[in-house]
C-alpha cells in the first residue's frame, strides 16, 4: 500500500517546456522572518504569490506534496527565504499552475530532482470501529485552522489538511509546566488520511493539555470520542522527491 501519490517517470529538472508565466519575479526576501512567520502563500486564479517562502515550500507547492516527502538538497533549502510573484495572462487550472511553477523553479533555481520510494514510519488517520462522527459541509471559507493553548479548537478544510495539522501537534513534547506552552520540536511523523472521507469539514474539538500526558495519547482520545476517528502506526513505502541540486541565488528576473 502506498501512503502518498506516485510520480510516474523520473524527473530530472522539474521543467515542463512551453509552460511559463507571463510575468515572474523571484528575489531573496529583504528581511528573513524565520520559521514561525515564513512561507506565506497566496494562490489566485491566474498566479502565485509568496512572501518569505523557502525553496522547500515552493517545491511542496509545485509537486503537490507534503513537506515530509521532500528529501536531500542543500542545507538552506528550508531556511533561505524568497519573495515570489508569478502571473499568467488568464485563469489557470490547479494542474497547469503547478506545472508552470515547476518550470519556474527549474529555470530560476536550476532545481534538479528525482523521485524515490522510502520506508517511513507514519500514522494513518482512519475511521474508528463505530464509524466517523463527522460529515462534510459546503465550502464557505478558505481552509485553515485556529487553535489555542487550551479549550475548543476549530479546523476548516479537508482531512489531509487536518492530518497535516495533527502531524505537527504530535511533535509537541509532554508538558512539564502548565503555565508554559510547549513548542513543536523535531521532525514530525507524517499523518496520512486513510479515512476515505471526501470534502471539506468544519471540526470543533475540545482538547486540554495534561501534565505528563503526551500529545499522541491526548489526540487519540479526542479523535475517538469526538470525531469517530483514530490513529494507527504503520511502516509504509512512501513516494518521496529527492532534491539533487539547486542554486541559492535565483537567476535574474
Residue pLDDT, tens place only, 195-211:
999 999 999 998 887 88
pLDDT reading at 15 higher than 70: no
For residues 191 and 126, the answer to whether their CB atoms sit within 8 Å is no
Model's pTM, two decimal places? 0.69
- Give residue 3's pLDDT band: very low, low, confident or very high (50, 70, 90): very low
The cell numbers describing 117, all together, are: 520510494
Cell numbers representing residue 109 in the block:
533555481
Res 145 pLDDT > 60: no
The pLDDT-based confidence of 168 (bands split at 50, 70, 90) is confident
First to last CA, the chain: 43
Residue with cell 470501529: 129
The pLDDT of residue 188 is: 77
- Quick one: what percent of the chain has pLDDT higher than 90? 58
Amino acid at each position: 500500500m502506498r501512503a502518498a501519490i506516485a510520480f510516474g517517470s523520473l524527473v530530472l529538472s522539474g521543467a515542463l517546456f512551453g509552460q511559463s508565466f507571463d510575468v515572474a519575479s523571484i528575489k531573496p526576501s529583504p528581511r528573513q522572518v524565520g520559521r514561525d512567520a515564513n512561507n506565506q502563500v497566496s494562490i489566485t486564479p491566474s498566479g502565485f504569490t509568496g512572501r518569505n517562502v523557502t525553496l522547500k515550500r515552493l517545491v511542496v507547492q509545485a509537486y503537490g506534496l507534503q513537506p515530509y516527502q521532500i528529501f536531500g538538497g542543500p542545507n538552506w533549502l528550508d531556511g533561505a527565504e524568497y519573495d515570489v510573484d508569478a502571473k499568467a495572462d488568464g485563469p489557470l487550472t490547479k494542474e497547469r499552475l503547478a506545472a508552470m511553477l515547476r518550470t519556474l523553479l527549474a529555470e530560476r533555481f536550476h532545481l534538479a530532482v528525482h523521485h524515490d520510494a522510502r520506508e517511513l514510519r507514519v500514522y494513518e488517520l482512519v475511521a474508528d470501529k463505530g464509524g466517523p462522527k463527522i460529515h462534510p459541509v459546503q465550502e464557505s471559507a478558505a481552509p485553515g485552522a485556529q487553535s489555542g493553548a487550551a479549550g475548543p479548537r476549530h479546523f476548516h478544510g479537508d482531512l489531509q489538511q487536518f492530518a497535516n495539522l495533527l502531524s505537527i501537534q504530535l511533535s509537541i513534547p509532554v508538558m512539564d509546566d502548565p503555565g508554559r506552552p510547549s513548542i513543536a520540536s523535531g521532525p514530525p511523523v507524517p499523518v496520512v488520511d486513510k479515512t476515505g472521507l471526501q470534502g471539506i469539514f468544519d471540526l470543533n474539538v475540545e482538547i486540554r493539555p495534561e501534565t505528563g500526558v503526551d500529545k499522541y495519547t491526548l489526540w487519540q482520545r479526542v479523535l475517538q470520542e469526538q470525531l469517530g476517528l483514530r490513529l494507527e502506526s504503520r511502516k509504509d513505502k512512501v513516494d518521496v522527491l529527492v532534491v539533487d541540486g539547486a542554486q541559492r541565488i535565483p537567476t535574474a528576473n
